[in-house]
A and B are shown apart, each in its own frame.
Chain A
Amino acid sequence: MTEYPVITAKIKKVHKENGLSTTYELNYKINAEPGQFIMLWIPGKGERPMGIADNDPLTITVAHIGPFTEEMRKLREGNAISFRGPMGKGFTLDKHDILLVAGGTGVVPMHFLAKKAKDKGLNIHAVLGAKTKNQIIYEKRFGKISKLLLTTDDGSKGRKGNAVEGAKEILKKHRIEAVYSCGPERMMKALAELCKKKKIPCQLSLERYMKCGTGICGSCMIGEKMVCKDGPVFSGEEALSFKEFGKTKRDASGRTVSL
């Protein structure tokens, strides 16, 4: 008996989001919760954790930022994709008025969460933050399921500033009972501190170098927790208790490096 068998599915649709990222829609329905992830395997190239953008059909969006993700640019419709999962602990939706804050490719799990929240009939606000206009992805999809605020660091689209400033604006104007976020860790730290000040519970999806994905190898430790098994979703309060949060992470060898 194996808990995480390798599943191989075919790519149904390849959609280029922009120069940096591509979305792959598979002919597979995954039984996953928003916030969970898969370990994507490219034979001969390795295995990497990937956020889930949608469960039916299973959809992932990949930023081509290294050799592994560069390799993925070669994938076309009809090609095979192999993965294990879903893995990890996802988000909990237990409030009605919610705010989703996504930075960069953090939009991926946030989109899946927004869809589930929409199915549950929740009141959804979303902030999508990017450096600049052409790095905004998922705008249309979020537009359909949430009240959307865009932010760009350079002001080329939406509100000028970062996603946390966008979140501040929404928290000022609207009643929000819970905040969810995925994105750059410094951004999430600032958001967690803001939520703590405002006494609003928040849940954050963290990222660390992962190898096994199943709570054995210890590569993804933060504090006493394994991001792959205890997370990747942690409460803002718990995240703030990790001394590495927003500061350092470990590389493939386990050495400490700054974020």
Chain B
Amino acid sequence: MIEIKLFEKKMKNPTILASGILGMTKQSLERIAKEGAGAVTTKSLTLEPRSGHPGPNIIETDCGLLNAMGYSNPGIKDGLEEFSDWKMKEPLIISIAGKEVNEFSKLAAAVSKIKCTAMEAVISCPHTPGYGLMSGQSDPESVSKTVKAIKKKTKIPLIVKLSPSTPGEVAAAKAAEEAGADAINMGNTIGPGMRIDLERKKPLLGFSCGGLSGPAMKPIALRCVYDIYKEIDIPIIGTGGVTTGEDMIEYMMAGASAVGIGTAVHYRGMSSFRRISNEAGTWLEEHGYKNIKEIIGAAHD
């Protein structure tokens, strides 16, 4: 009923652990898979280790979370050592983040050496200098160059992660598809946003501002998925505020083939993946569907 295939690989349900949530160790990904995720994504790996931004790194808001982790990660060498030898049946997606095309090439070449289902290139982080939205990485021209450079180095399917805050997100998605990307993840956090502590009269996040995730961004990311679906043929992963089974159905009706889940872990714990999948399954049954694929893009004429 809710099984899908992503890049010819079976997923027990369409939920994917989004990059950046847990995902620093192989054992954390194993636990998430056991807790019901259909697939898992590692924290984004960069060429060199990064300690990340000073804390606080994650702050609650009334409508989601603000985070400014700053790509803390052990670097591609230690990271791939950590995630190699993945034995679980749930697909493993390795996330990579480079500052420039050349870095993405090197990262892609390194990831090609280990066993994984896909790699995800993040070009849309809203709060890390030198990366993503802070360095224009999601302009269609840059997207095209980055995707071509990665595809030259690897046969592993490539997901390109955009953000609803990407200017001209539809053009960026089209550029990614034309350059050879195998899927689009829409998307990363939006913003950046900010919270200020009244008593201390200071921004709460260590980096002052950070990406907004969770329920607040759902309508925006959903609209992006809807618009992109009209223009491209490769699969779309809808990410942003998926907290219930109905959220997942909504994204799939907009055109997503799978959904990314992250902030829901804050609201509903690690079992979010199983609960969201079960809720979606129940909804489909109650509405007389036999397979979740029937609803992909159903909101379009």
**Residues in chain A within 8 A of chain B (CB atoms):** 1-6, 8, 39, 41, 43-48, 80, 82, 84, 211-212, 214-219, 221, 223-224, 226, 250-256
Contacts and interface: CB of A to CB of B under 8 A. Distances in A.
Interface residues of B, number: 44
A224 B199 contact: no
B200 to A, nearest CB: 5
Given A214-B266, A254-B73, A255-B78, A82 B58 contact: no
Interface in B77-104: 78-79
A253 B49 contact: yes
B265 A215 contact: yes
Contacts of A84: 56
B30 A253 contact: no
B43 interface: yes
B265 A4 contact: no
A255 B72 CA distance: 10
Contacts of B282: none
Contacts of A6: 197, 199-200, 204
Main secondary structure of the interface of B (DSSP, over half): loop
B202 to A, nearest CB: 4
Contacts, number: 122
A39 B56 contact: yes
Contact of A3 (B22, B25, B51, B60): B60
B74 A255 contact: yes
Contacts of A80: 199-200
Nearest to A242: B27
B254 to A, nearest CB: 26
B259 interface: no
Contacts of A217: 20-22, 24, 57-58, 67, 69
A36 B266 CA distance: 18
A221 to B, nearest CB: 5
A186 B179 CA distance: 53
B134 to A, nearest CB: 20
